Amino acid sequence: MNLRGPTRRNVGRAVFWLALAFLVHAQEPPKEPPRSPAQENKQPTSVNVTALPALNVAKELADYVLICATVLLVVVGGYQLTVMRKTVKVAQDSADAARKSADASERSSGIAQDTFVNTHRPKLVVRFMQAQGIGTTSINGQFRVFNAGATKAFLKRIYTEIVVAEYLPALTPYDGKIGAVLTDVEVVPGGEGKPMDFPTTPQELTVSHRNSIANRIDWLKRGLPDEKHATNLYVIGWIEYLDEAKKVRRMGFCRKYNFQAERFQRDPDEDYEYDD
C-alpha cells in the first residue's frame, strides 16, 4: 500500500534523527564507574598503551539500518491496520444500509400487495346445486364453488347442512361448528368450479320432515295451488378461505329448493348470504 506524501516525509525525518542519535551515542567514550578514595590516592606505577580499540562502523551502520527498517515496518503495519479497520467499518455500514433498504423494500412490497388484494379481492360463488333423495329421509347432493373476483382464493374449511322448515331460524344452526378441513384447494378467477358435497356430516331427516316434503311434492304434482305456509327445504353453509395476502375470509350461502321448478335457487337472506 502506498503512503501519502506527508506520511512519507514524516517517516524519513524520523529515520534521519534516529540515525544521527545512534551515531552520536556510538562516538561517546564509555563512562568509568565511580572510584573509591583508596583508588584515587593510589598512583599507578605505569601505563602501558598498546592500541586503541577499533570502531566497527560497518556493523554499527548495519544495526542502525535494521532498526530503522523495523521501525518503518511497524509504522507501515500500523497504518495498514488502521486503513483495514476503516475499510471493514465502511463495509459493515454498507451491508447494514443494504439490509435496511431490503427490509424497507420488502415491507413496501408487502403493503402494496395487501392493498392490491384488498381492492381486487377474491369472491366465491356457489352454483349448480343438485340433490338426490328429495322426499326421503336421506338427502345429499353436490354444488360447485367458483371465484368471481380478481385474485386467487385458497379454501380451508367448509360446513353445510340441510334445514327443513317454513322459515330459516334467526340464529344460524351452524354457529360453533368447525366444519371439514380442505387441503390444497385453490380457486382461480374465471377458472372451473370446485365440486363440493353436502351435507358435511351425514344427516337423516325426521319422519315428520320427510312427510312434509313428500306431501308438498305430491300436492304440486296434482296441480293444486301451493300452500301459504308450506314446508321449505334449505341447504345452508359457509366456506372459510384465504386470499393472496393470507387474510382469513368467510362466505356464507343459502339455497332454497323450488318445488315447482325442481331446482335450488339463491335465498336473499343477509344473515345466511354474506362474504366477509
Q: What pLDDT, on a 0 to 100 scale, did the predictor assign at position 14?
A: 67
| pTM score, whole prediction | 0.61
Contacts of residue 26, Cβ cutoff 8 Å, sequence gap at least 6? 55, 60
C-alpha triplet 129, 159, 236: angle, nearest 5°: 50
Cα–Cα distances in angstroms (integers) from residue 238 to residues 74, 94, 122, 249, 253, in the given order: 79, 52, 15, 10, 6
Give the Cα separation of 88 and 218 in Å (integer): 90
- Return the C-alpha cell found at 104: 424497507
Q: Are residues 124 and 275 in contact, defined by beta-carbon separation less than 8 angstroms?
A: yes
Give residue limits of the domains in the chain: 5-27+54-117, 124-275
Residue with C-alpha cell 509504522? 75
The pLDDT score that the predictor gives to residue 94 is 76
Q: What is the pLDDT of residue 63?
A: 75
Domain 124-275 has CATH 2.60.40: yes
One digit per residue, the tens of pLDDT, for the chain of length 276 reads 555 555 666 666 766 676 666 665 555 555 555 666 555 555 555 555 555 555 566 677 777 777 888 888 888 888 888 888 888 878 788 777 777 766 666 666 556 666 776 688 999 999 999 999 999 999 999 999 999 999 999 999 999 999 999 999 999 999 989 999 999 999 999 899 999 999 999 999 999 999 999 999 999 998 888 777 899 999 999 999 999 999 999 999 999 999 999 999 999 999 999 998
Q: Strand 194-198 relative to strand 124-132: parallel, antiparallel, unpaired?
A: unpaired
